[in-house]
Amino acid sequence: MSVIHVPGVKPAASAIELGRGADGVVLELLDHPELVVKDMNHRFKLGRNRIALELRVLHAVIEATNGRGATRVFNLGTDESGLSWLVRERVFDVEPRGTQADRSKLVDLILRLHPSADVSRLMLPDPTFDNVRWGYTKADPEPRWILIDP
């Protein structure tokens, strides 16, 4: 069953939390583990500006990597309390991870496009704390380095 994305309408999230950071919390979409919803921590303009920045960087990386180097965003909006959110592809982690050299190529590209992107040059020991992940998406099952959150 596929998700029908209604622009600006937030789909139901499950109780499965996949990540938490300074910007917000990432939850698995209810009945759709291949998608995630990111709920921003900041209200109104600050949250919307952060989502606009993420979209610009993700789209630039997608374009520069022939569609393979970043997650795709399918929907976004602001809830009734003024908190922004977005729905994007989920990256499923794979072990063993790819090489540092290949990761560095993607990170260099990301930093050229957005010098203050929240990415680490070195692979972190625990991939759950890394914004550049080795894995695959439902749409492209070949493992690769993927930017999930700039």
Average pLDDT, the chain: 91
Indicate whether 51 pLDDT > 90. no
What is the C-alpha separation between 78 and 84, in angstroms, rounded? 4
115: buried, middle or exposed (CB in 10 Å: 19+, 13-18, 0-12)?
exposed
> What residues are paired with 42 via a beta bridge?
none
Render pLDDT for 69-105 as a digit per residue (tens, 0 to 9): 999 999 999 888 888 899 999 999 999 999 999 999 9
* Percent of all residues in the chain with a pLDDT value above 70, rounded to a whole number: 96
What domains can you pick out in the chain, each with its CATH number? Answer: 10-150 (3.30.200.20)
Tokens read off for 62: 């997608």
When computed from its CA atoms, the radius of gyration of the chain, rounded to whole angstroms, is 15
Local confidence band at 61 (pLDDT 50, 70, 90 cut-offs): very high
